[in-house]
Amino acid sequence: MKAIKWLIGVLVAVFTLLVIGVVILVNFVNPNDYREQINHVISDKIHKPFAINGEISWVLFPSLGFKAQNMTIGDRHTQDLYVELSTLELNLQLLPLLHKNIALNALHIDGAQIILPSDAHDVNTATQTNGSDNLAAAMLALPDLSLKAFSIKNANLTKQKPNGAVLWQIKNLAEEITELSWDKPFTETADFNFSYPDKNISAKINFKTDMEINTHTQTIRLFSPKLVVENSGSELFTGTIRINMHQLTADLGRENLLLEKLSGNLNQLNFAGEASVNHFLNNPAAQGQLALKSDQLKSFLQSVHITLPQMQSASALSHFALTTHFQYANNQLQANPLTIELDQATINGSITSSDVKNLALEVKLSTPHFDLGNYLKASNPADAKKMTLENSQCNVKLLPPVGNEQSLLASTASGFLTIKKLTINDQSLGNLSLLVDAKNQMIKIIKLHSELWQGAVDASGFINLQHGATEFTLNPQIQHMEIKNLMALLEPKFKISGSVNLNGSINSVGSSLGMIKQNLTGHLNLRVNNGILHGIDISYWLKAADNVLRKQSLPQQPSNPETNFGTLTASLSMNRGLISNPDLLMAGPTLYVTGQGSVNLPSETLNYHLFLAKTNTDTGAAHHDVIPLLISGSFDHPSIDLDLAALTKKIIGKELDKQKDKLLEKALGSQLAQSQVGQQLGDALGKLFH
């Protein structure tokens, strides 16, 4: 019992002495008297200018310590690191003081301005040789540290450009750590605002984690870290990013980084994955799994400032999922295998990059079935198009630009596309293949091939997009294609069936379809075999012409007119939207037609003069009796009539041949008789056609 009383007495005495010592220290020792010595010692230790410009005062709660005001590190007028601290408060542990040791109990900073130099003036980067060695050595050199509390508030951190302007900035940083100690878990929270003026990025960031720093094993572990980024608007996206993780482990000695059970979301897009990174400080090499998923893809794309037109299907761009295994090393990336789900379609493939920094990519994709029509721009329901792709594959290579031009549009690209079957409404193209090269917005069509309507379509050419307006040259070749299905798509008043062959070259330039038609130039050679012209019976017009010559009434038109014209050939010359055809020839079993005419694409009108004759079955040539036809008007409502001017000339010629002497006598005998003949002929033609 006496021993206990003695021990209590000793403790009371020690405490009393401590209190007396603190009172004497606070009242008789002025820390401001040592300010210059403190500034000099710290400047020598950190090799930078250091100054306490304000008052230094003692602090008694929560433990003995001191508070310093208006501190600076570095020189504001240089391009080096510069720090201003408004208030720095240090609290000391009392028991170590009895052994003449200084141990911190708490550290608080209120108000800080930190300016980081630009990369061009960062003197430290030039001397660093191995980041992992420096960090590992720094961890081993760390003294034992134990703080009940650590906090920073009202802090700003600014990264400068070489010209002194702001590159990015952290403002209103508030950070708190409780029970800070090496080799024991502690809790850290941080809130701040981040801005990147050049990219118009402005975000509010919150971070919270349990952390452990082990100086012996040189590892840092984050347990259940949570990061929330609220972006109020930028060129990239508007919305919130949330990132959660089971654990993040950084082994500075081995330079390994392990991310376990990463998950989160960016607006309506969810993501999850795991990754391990070797040499993460100097030359990182990573591998892992990544999964993306969204059931509101259209809303997500709009949140990242991707404008989409209204599509034919209201449910288009609803479901999206992506899974892949990725590997990255030496600025090279591979995502293989890659599986994408887009609404009802499944797309398989891979993505590789030989130069990630400059976006050198190779993308390979394939899908067994894809409803492309769902994603076409919406129009009137009656004009909606169904378009499906069966067994399609594509391979696209994108090489980075060379020289000083770093725009993505200046990149070099090449690729091919194959589609086993492309169906548009009720029409199908088979074995479609396309091979292209592109550079500086110049697209070269090396090969285009498709099986279409029992024939084949091949083409080559180029497209120039450099000057805003589209400029193109196309060299088409069509062989043995049945054109009745084309007529069904165009829906003209008169339709043609048969097997068509076509070759030539066309080019144009324009920013709209109207300008392209107006500037169209080139030439085409056309041949149609086994042709049938539906909607017009030319034999009817031959008979009608005969009746006119015989001064008889026109016969009744057939209900389903058509003409078997056998072979049709024509050469087409195009100049600024005007198509000229001087040598139209149709040679059928009962019909022989020649003609010339023109088509005006900008005004969508045509004007053709045709000369019809029955075929001589013995020689295959045309009879001498030729009937002229005139086809004119708009594409939508063309008119077909007898060519009255040519027919009048023909009638006069026949009459002159048959009654040359009689007409000559009348003409010589009386001018009145001559005018009466002309009047009678005009009256007869007028009764027939009016």
Task: Domain ranges for the chain, please list them.
Answer: 332-440, 453-647, 659-690
Instruction: Tell me the CA end-to-end span of the chain in Å, nearest whole number.
Output: 144
Structural contact between residues 493 and 549, judged by C-beta atoms closer than 8 angstroms: no
Q: Could you tell me which residues come within 8 angstroms of residue 24 by beta carbon, excluding any fewer than 6 positions away?
A: none
Output the six-digit token pair for 10: 């000793």
For residues 323 and 332, give the distance between their C-alpha atoms in angstroms, rounded to a whole number. Answer: 19
Q: Which residues pair with 363 in a beta bridge?
A: 351, 396
Largest Cα separation within the chain, whole Å, is 173
For residues 113 and 559, give the distance between their C-alpha atoms in angstroms, rounded to a whole number. Answer: 92
CA distance to 135, 145, 164, 214, per residue, from 140 (Å):
9, 13, 36, 9
User: What is the pLDDT, as a whole number, of residue 478?
Assistant: 92
Q: 502-521 in b/e burial notation, b at 16+ Cβ within 10 A?
A: bbbebbbbbeeeebbbbbbb
Residue 314 backbone dihedrals phi, psi, to 5 degrees: -65, -25
SS (H, E, C) 17-36: HHHHHHHHHHHHCCHHHHHH
DSSP 336-358: EEEEEEETTEEEEEEEEEEETTT
Nearest to 538 by CA among 642, 436, 438, 405: 642
Output the six-digit token pair for 509: 């330039």
Output the six-digit token pair for 496: 């043609």
Output the six-digit token pair for 152: 């920073």
User: What is the pLDDT, as a whole number, of residue 615?
Assistant: 65
Structural contact between residues 531 and 568, judged by C-beta atoms closer than 8 angstroms: yes
Output the six-digit token pair for 38: 């403190």
User: What is the pLDDT, as a whole number, of residue 367?
Assistant: 96
Structural contact between residues 210 and 222, judged by C-beta atoms closer than 8 angstroms: yes
Q: 51-79 in b/e burial notation, b at 16+ Cβ within 10 A?
A: bbebebeebeeeebbebbbebbbbeeeeb
Q: Is the dihedral of CA 604, 605, 609, 610 positive or negative?
A: positive
User: What is the pLDDT, as a whole number, of residue 97?
Assistant: 57
User: What is the pLDDT, as a whole number, of residue 540?
Assistant: 75
- Model-level pTM greater than 0.75? no
Nearest to 513 by CA among 467, 577, 607: 577
Q: 371-394 in b/e burial notation, b at 16+ Cβ within 10 A?
A: bbbbbbeeeeeeeeeebbbeebbb
Nearest to 587 by CA among 614, 609, 607: 614
User: What is the pLDDT, as a whole number, of residue 369?
Assistant: 95
| CA-based radius of gyration for the chain | 44
- Per-run averaged pLDDT (10 residues), the chain, 690 residues: 46 45 53 79 81 84 81 82 88 64 78 82 45 51 68 92 87 89 85 88 92 86 94 73 94 91 94 94 92 94 85 91 96 95 95 87 94 85 82 88 57 88 86 89 89 91 85 92 75 74 93 87 93 76 67 73 84 93 86 88 88 63 66 80 60 52 45 37 36
> How many residues comprise the chain?
690
For residues 22 and 61, give the distance between their C-alpha atoms in angstroms, rounded to a whole number. Answer: 12
User: What is the pLDDT, as a whole number, of residue 92?
Assistant: 75
